[in-house]
A and B are shown apart, each in its own frame.
Chain A
């Protein structure tokens, strides 16, 4: 098995249908992925992409439909069957064990592991195996210490080590920098060209599909809405197949910033420990003026999260000042209220909501204890909370079964809409946002970006921390790059180049 790359296999599904009760998650989907090809699977969240691949991998048993491997009908009843056929999957969330080294991860994931592991022999075998791999990886380091790109490579290497020759990649570049994404996909692409591997890549990034895939299939609401050679399709056609005819919120055009706009947020020689306690972040000088969006780019884990936590009052700082409109800001509730500071952290369900409390309660977190004039109330009125949140739910189009549903029962996009409703209502002078669109679907992303742009045009100073460079380029007026805990590069949007930003992100300066 570990003789490594068997020749690529082709996989085909015929009339795949998957029903959960009355709900049809997948209806009669037939796609064909020939051996040695790079096939892209496009679709929004909930379009049935993961249902389809889970059927192929044996996690689900389809209601009807067949799977063909190399033209022969096969039964895939469990993930074990799938791996015996050489089918493997690289998940969006890493399945490597963080506290084990790369070598330990590879060896323990094998089906047959000897009771006592002879590391000298295993290491020699691994070295031989790695020589044939296009990726160069340190295998004696704990996985937790690897960069995201290296982890992603190790996931792929693991599948190849296990002898898989058909790989499903589930949004493989969502955690990578543009440079890393290019590199990883390029190497995978070379392996398919050499006929060692067949790839089915789930993605929603059109430029990746165009650059690397041979064929594309598009799913919408469980149905196959289009398939064909990538060369014959443009982005517009693919987008139409993907989202159908639903309206997409358009971005307001940028209002020209006033030249004398006031600097709302000022950060001076800020120092704070990072989560390991070994390194620290230091922000020398950052100003955000009213009516502009300042974007901060960077690879995950370079201190953006810590910086946000300092601004949100979740992390103590060792030195430095955070000033909002010239007065010191310590992120207390009173200060945030007085200075109109609003915060949209990443993973809003975890960081900005009380998941088991109701939608109405979550929407009222900023206002439940004050009356219309900002005076503290002594008695909390549930009817006022309901009326307030009913208005916001309507206004921000939050889809919820009822105002009293727990917010955790909402979809990711609707949780984010609810949080936006809470944070963007009332006067906003400073808005701090982190990865607002992570994992959301097309229409939610468009709408959320439109709301942020609207807030900017209304005169708010916006600080946007994001790992999605496309998002930063679309929204920001100025972009900073954060690397190793410091802001290392600044560029106005007019002169921003992905190339230069990417190099600074990777720390190549």
Chain B
């Protein structure tokens, strides 16, 4: 990529493009985690679900030559992982965080096991819409090449934000997440609601994984995820369990992730590696800045095991 043509303008442009490209898995995983956490449970296993989703999507896309079937398969695999987590957690004295960590390792391990034969073959990619067609600068075109999943994710965050207030299902998830007792008094079964919420969360994480292997970076390797699944959990807290906040935070993280490559592309040769760590440093800074020893987290669901 030759960025010298437009000079330093390449940096913000690359960050914008990167934000759109890198943020999509963050959007899906964090929306999924937001649904799960709003129901009062944490699923740390989404990192494993993400990796397994990436593998499933790639494998199915290679075999059927259809990226969309791959995407569906990834969502289904994620749903299964989520339901499994929800099913184990309904037993008494089971800790959702411990199960999540176990499932994270299990998901990645299983993905590596089944994914070995698919490292070589080439799968068809998910389509992107070239919003940059009006410009003849290649950098602008590259930055504005927006994948459909990004648009779906953006729409989904608005829909979820609306649904948490205006639908029966949304209110039920919030009731269960805030007070199991109140839910039981209304005749709701908290375990069932959480099971479904964790299932849906898993399915969204699977879709996030499919984006990784079928669009960007666009191939299946064992190092396909760099902790997006885990960072998404931090992101949900930062976003105060608000789907719109999740979307904005995902863009921010995506932009931070694109900082390193962007600097590299304009010819910074030293120290840009440091900027590859930007999303992780951002995670740390956000967690420190938003936590306090003297007050509880505003907006946190009351039944969440980390805030109890």
- A residues with CB within 8 A of B: 79-80, 91, 93, 95-100, 104, 107-109, 113-117, 119, 273, 275-277, 315-316
Query: In the complex, which of the residues B167, B186, B293, B302 contacts A109, with contact meaning CB atoms closer than 8 Å?
Result: B186
Q: Are A79 and B174 in contact (CB under 8 A)?
A: no
Contact B178 A117 (CB under 8 A): no
B292 and A277 within 8 A (CB): yes
Residue of B175, B294, B298 near A108 (CB, 8 A) is B175
User: Which residue of A is nearest B299, CB measured?
Assistant: A99
Beyond the given A107-B171, A108-B175, A316-B293, please list 9 additional residue pairs across the A-B interface where CB-CB is below 8 A.
A79-B187, A93-B181, A95-B179, A95-B182, A99-B301, A99-B302, A115-B168, A116-B166, A276-B295
| Size bracket, chain B contacts | 20 to 34
In the bound complex, CA of A277 to CA of B291 (Å) = 12
Q: Give the residues in chain A near B154, CB-CB below 8 Å.
A: none
Instruction: Name 29 A/B residue pairs within 8 A (Cβ), A-sorted.
Output: A79-B187, A93-B181, A95-B181, A96-B182, A97-B174, A97-B175, A99-B178, A99-B299, A99-B302, A100-B174, A100-B175, A100-B178, A108-B171, A108-B172, A108-B186, A109-B186, A115-B169, A116-B166, A116-B167, A116-B168, A119-B165, A119-B166, A273-B294, A273-B295, A275-B294, A275-B295, A276-B295, A276-B298, A316-B294
Is B185 an interface residue when CB atoms closer than 8 A count as contact? yes
Interface string of B264-308 (1 = CB under 8 A from A): 000000000000000000000000000011111011011000000
Q: Which residues of chain B have C-beta atoms less than 8 A from A91's C-beta? A: 185
Give every chain B residue within 8 A of A97 (Cβ-Cβ): 174-175, 178-179, 182
Give the complex CA separation of A117 and B165 in angstroms.
8
Task: Tell me which residues across on chain A come within 8 A of B178, comparing CB atoms.
Answer: 97-100
Q: Which of A93, A100, A107, A276 counts the most chain B CB atoms within 10 A?
A: A100
Q: What are the residues of chain A within 8 A of B169 when measuring CB–CB?
A: 115
Alpha-carbon separation in the docked complex, A97 to B173 (Å): 11
Going nearest first, the 8 A-B pairs with the smallest beta carbon separation are A277-B295, A108-B171, A113-B168, A95-B185, A95-B182, A99-B178, A97-B178, A97-B182
Q: State the CA gap A119–B294 with chains docked (Å).
A: 37
> Please, how many angstroms separate the alpha-carbon atoms of A93 and B293 in the complex?
27
* Nearest-Cβ distance from residue B301 to partner chain A, whole angstroms: 7
Q: Which of B166, B175, B182, B298 contacts A117 (CB 8 A)?
A: B166
Most buried by A among B175, B181, B182: B182
Task: Report the separation of the CA atoms of residues A225 and B186 in the bound assembly, to the nearest whole angstrom.
Answer: 34
B302 touches A98 (CB 8 A): yes
Chain B, residue nearest A78 (CB): B187
- Provide the residues of chain A in CB contact with B168, threshold 8 Å: 108, 113-117
For the residues of A in contact with B, the DSSP-based class is loop
**Least CB separation from B241: chain A residue:** A99
Which residues in window 150-189 of B have CB below 8 A to A?
A: 165-169, 171-172, 174-175, 178-179, 181-182, 185-187
What's the nearest-Cβ distance from chain B to residue A76, in Å? 15
Docked Cα-Cα span, A100 to B174, in Å, equals 8
Check B181–A275 contact: CB distance below 8 A: no
Residues of A within 8 A of B182 (CB): 95-97
Instruction: Tell me, in angstroms, the Cα distance from A145 to B231 when the chains sit together.
Output: 32
Give the docked Cα–Cα distance between A316 and B187 (Å).
42
Q: How far is the CB of B7 from chain A (nearest CB, A)?
A: 46
Report whether A117 and B295 are in contact in the complex, using a CB–CB cutoff of 8 Å: no
CA distance A109 to B296 in the complex (A): 27
Chain B residues with CB below 8 A from A119, complex form: 165-166
| C-alpha spacing A95/B185, complex, angstroms | 7
Report B-chain residues with C-beta under 8 Å of the C-beta of A277: 292, 294-295
CB contact list, B174-207 vs A, under 8 A? 174-175, 178-179, 181-182, 185-187
Chain B residue with Cβ nearest A116: B167
- A273 and B294 alpha carbons, distance in the complex (Å): 8
Chain B residue at minimal CB-CB distance from A111: B187
Q: How far is the CB of A408 from chain B (nearest CB, A)?
A: 15
Q: Are A98 and B179 in contact (CB under 8 A)?
A: yes
Write the chain B residue with the least CB distance to A306: B294
For the complex, give the distance between the alpha carbons of A114 and B294 in Å. 41
Smallest beta-carbon distance A464→chain B, Å = 25
Q: Which one of B172, B187, B301 has the highest number of Cβ atoms from chain A below 10 Å of its Cβ?
A: B187
B301 CB contacts on chain A under 8 angstroms: 99
A95, A115, A275 — which one has the most chain B CB atoms within 10 A of its CB?
A: A95
Task: Kindly report which residue of chain B lies nearest to residue A119, judged by CB atoms.
Answer: B166
User: Chain B nearest CB: distance from A271 CB in Å?
Assistant: 13
Chain A residues whose C-beta falls within 8 Å of the C-beta of B167 in the assembled complex: 115-117
Minimal beta-carbon separation of B82 from chain A (angstroms): 22
Give Cα A418–Cα B175 distance, bound, in whole angstroms: 37
> Nearest Cβ distance between residue A77 and chain B, in whole angstroms?
14
* Residues of the A chain whose Cβ atoms lie less than 8 Å from the Cβ of B302: 98-99
Q: Is the CB of B187 within 8 A of A80?
A: yes
A275 CA to B44 CA, complexed, in Å: 28
**What is the distance, in angstroms, from A111's C-beta to the closest C-beta of chain B?**
8
Alpha-carbon gap, A97 to B166, bound state (A) = 16
Chain B residues with CB below 8 A from A315, complex form: 294
User: Chain B contacts of A115 at CB under 8 A?
Assistant: 167-169
B63 to chain A, nearest CB (A): 38
Complex CA distance for A91 and B178, rounded to whole angstroms = 18
CA distance A276 to B300 in the complex (A): 13
Query: Closest approach, in angstroms, between the C-beta of B58 and any C-beta of chain A?
Result: 36
| Distance (whole angstroms) from the CB of B235 to the closest CB of chain A | 20
Inter-chain contacts of B298 with A (CB < 8 A) = 276
Selected from B171, B179, B181, B185, the residue in CB contact (under 8 A) with A104 is B171
Residue of B nearest to A110 (CB): B186
Instruction: Kindly report which residue of chain B lies nearest to residue A113, judged by CB atoms.
Output: B168
Closest partner residue, chain B, to A79 (CB atom): B187
B residues in contact with A96, CB < 8 Å: 182
- Please report the C-alpha to C-alpha distance between residue A221 and residue B182 in the assembled complex, in whole angstroms: 30
- Looking across the interface, which residue of chain B has its beta carbon closest to that of A108? B171
A201 to chain B, nearest CB (A): 19
Q: Which residues of A contact B186 (CB under 8 A)?
A: 108-109
| C-alpha spacing A98/B294, complex, angstroms | 20
| B48 CB → nearest A CB, Å | 30
